[in-house]
Amino acid sequence: MSSTNIYIPYTYLLFHKKSRTFYYGSRTAKNCHPSDLFESYFSSSKVVKSIIKKEGKDAFLFRVDKTFETAEETLDYEYQVLKRYEAGTNERFLNLTHSKSGCMWTTEVRKKASETHKRMVKEGTHKRAFQKGHSGTKGFTGRKHSEDSIAKMGRSGEDHHYYGKKRNKKTCKKISDSVKKIMTKEHRSLLSEKAKARCDEAFRKRTSENNKIQVCCIKCGYQVNRSNLVNHQKGSRCKNQ
């Protein structure tokens, strides 16, 4: 039996060279194996996939962090790591969340949730069961608005002021040109001094907050200010150089 047929769930660490940011994730799919990483598996993260699509897989350094026997152990360990570094709000991480709900969706849990969802829709106890795409079991299905309700909602159909009208090509081009103008660098450079001052103040506030937040270096575990993390990893104090 080849090693790739042995089920070994694992956690892994990615490092984006250009932005010097990390992504920590796990792999618990059926028949997964550490040899999959960056061979047939490139993370489930939309952020990571987007970067790979633009820059190629060589944009990342990668390594398997730890292997486990079960998916539950793997996901629990992933949650503990992400929680420790507050990865969802940490600028040094590409992870979008470090909540437990975002890490604990195993295949078994997903299957159970799907069965529960279908049962609730069938019984009419699902809180969104009357929306489009669901069976008409409750809510507004089969009912109509009264004349008073329609009047309160405002004009519609033939009574609407734009009913039956179309924008001509000249108007469409004018709107398109206006949008393009707003998005140009020249337009942004014409911001008022007051607007620029607000941007500068926001930057100073963010820098000040970063100086107060303590984070651990993912390489050596040394605790530093978040704003000094990059310099720490480049310097001699980082033990894992």
Per-domain residue ranges of the chain: 3-105, 195-234
Tokens read off for 160: 């609407």
The three-point CA angle 114-119-124 to 5° equals 125
pLDDT of residue 42: 92
Count how many residues are written for the chain.
Answer: 241
pLDDT of residue 137: 47
Residues of the chain predicted below pLDDT 50:
1-2, 137-138, 241
Closest CA to 38 of 60, 15, 16, 20: 60
**CATH architecture of the domain formed by 3-105:** 3-Layer(aba) Sandwich (3.40)
In this structure, are strands 214-216 and 60-67 parallel, antiparallel, or unpaired?
unpaired
Q: Under DSSP, is residue 214 helix (H, G, I), strand (E, B) or coil?
A: strand
pLDDT of residue 2: 43
pLDDT of residue 1: 39
Alpha carbons within 13 A on the beta-carbon side of 215: 26
Q: What CA–CA distance (Å, rounded) separates 228 from 208?
A: 12
pLDDT of residue 191: 62
pLDDT of residue 198: 73
Q: What CA–CA distance (Å, rounded) separates 210 from 221?
A: 18
pLDDT of residue 38: 94
Residue 225 near residue 213 (C-beta atoms within 8 A): yes
Closest CA to 87 of 32, 26, 42: 26
pTM above 0.75, yes or no: no
pLDDT of residue 64: 95
Closest CA to 109 of 76, 65, 69, 66: 76
Which whole-number Å values give the CA distances from 156 to 145, 146, 160, in the listed order? 14, 15, 5
Tokens read off for 137: 């079991």
Closest CA to 138 of 127, 146, 152, 149: 127
Arithmetic mean of pLDDT over the chain: 76
